[in-house]
Amino acid sequence: MHLIIGLTGGIGCGKSAASQFFSELGVDVIDTDVISQQLTQPAGLAIHPIKEQFGKDFITAGGALDRSKMRELVFSNDDARLRLENILHPLILQETLLHIKQSQSPYIILVVPLLIENREYRALVQRILVIDCDEDQQLKRTMSRSQLSEQQAKSIMAAQISREIRLQNANDVIVNNRDLAHLKSEVLRLHYTYLSLSQNS
């Protein structure tokens, strides 16, 4: 049985950079956001049900999900958000389980932004790794990476569970307040820990 590490953290904390470093070490990284994007590309498995639920206005001329239009809708309409989640979540979970089955690395990094809130994904992981940073850093990174206004970035942060709850649920924490070299060294440190745990599991 694989040792599966659930990697999570707030928006802008550095989940993508950390998971990229794990990948460079030869670890299989399964990222639910990447799977979601693949499902909503042209001919993706989610396109037909989204078109049926929301209409063709939410699909681009190229046949992909119109992300900005859908983001606008789901941020202002809880019913629409739930309808979208009911389409995407079972498909994402199905793909995730398939990737886990096919994995060849000693342990797996499973990246789930809403890991703490999601019972199905929590049941899949043996440890939770939280990528953390202070809220000022988080706000700056989110604004610069996603070209969002301060208000938009703050509203996304407010919609996620609190930093305190994430940290209470963590088995391991990387504090990502410094540069990428520091983040890389922290990933390497945990890599050796996880290799050792995977041999014992």
How does pLDDT run across 85-121, given as a tens digit for each residue?
999 999 999 999 999 999 999 999 999 998 998 999 9
**pLDDT grade for 187, boundaries at 50, 70 and 90:** very high
User: Does residue 200 register a pLDDT over 90?
Assistant: no
- Only one residue has tokens 């096919």, namely 102
Contacts of 103 (CB under 8 A, 6+ apart): 2, 28, 30
Looking at residue 194, which CATH number applies to its domain?
3.40.50.300
Report residue 111: phi and psi, to 5°.
-90, 115
According to the model, what pLDDT value does residue 141 have?
80
Query: Percentage of the chain surpassing pLDDT 70?
Result: 100
Q: What is the mean pLDDT of residues 157-186?
A: 90
Residues 146 and 155: beta-carbon distance below 8 Å = no
Contacts of 26 (CB under 8 A, 6+ apart): 105
Count how many residues are written for the chain.
Answer: 201
User: Does residue 131 register a pLDDT over 80?
Assistant: yes
Least trusted range by pLDDT, from 15-24, 57-66, 123-132, 146-155: 146-155
According to the model, what pLDDT value does residue 58 have?
94
CA pair distance 49, 118, nearest whole angstrom: 23
Query: Within this chain, do residues 67 and 161 fall inside the same structural domain, yes or no?
Result: no
- Only one residue has tokens 């790794």, namely 129
User: Does residue 149 register a pLDDT over 80?
Assistant: no
Query: Within this chain, do residues 43 and 16 fall inside the same structural domain, yes or no?
Result: no
CA pair distance 59, 50, nearest whole angstrom: 8
Query: Within this chain, do residues 56 and 7 fall inside the same structural domain, yes or no?
Result: no
Query: Within this chain, do residues 83 and 99 fall inside the same structural domain, yes or no?
Result: yes
Residue-range definition of the domain harbouring residue 140: 1-27+107-201
According to the model, what pLDDT value does residue 76 have?
82
Domain stops at, among 76, 104, 132: 104
According to the model, what pLDDT value does residue 150 have?
80
Domain stops at, among 104, 120, 146: 104
Least trusted range by pLDDT, from 25-34, 50-59, 65-74, 154-163: 154-163
**How far from the centroid of its chain's Cα atoms is residue 136's Cα?**
21
Kind and range of the H or E run holding 152 = helix 150-159
CA pair distance 119, 129, nearest whole angstrom: 16
Render pLDDT for 15-57 as a digit per residue (tens, 0 to 9).
Answer: 999 999 999 999 999 999 999 999 999 999 999 999 999 999 9
Ramachandran region of residue 147, left (φ > 0), alpha (ψ -120 to 50) or beta? left
Domain stops at, among 104, 137, 162: 104
Dig out the tokens for 127 from the structure. Answer: 């440890």
Dig out the tokens for 20 from the structure. Answer: 């990229």
According to the model, what pLDDT value does residue 140 have?
83
Query: Within this chain, do residues 119 and 170 fall inside the same structural domain, yes or no?
Result: yes
According to the model, what pLDDT value does residue 183 have?
95
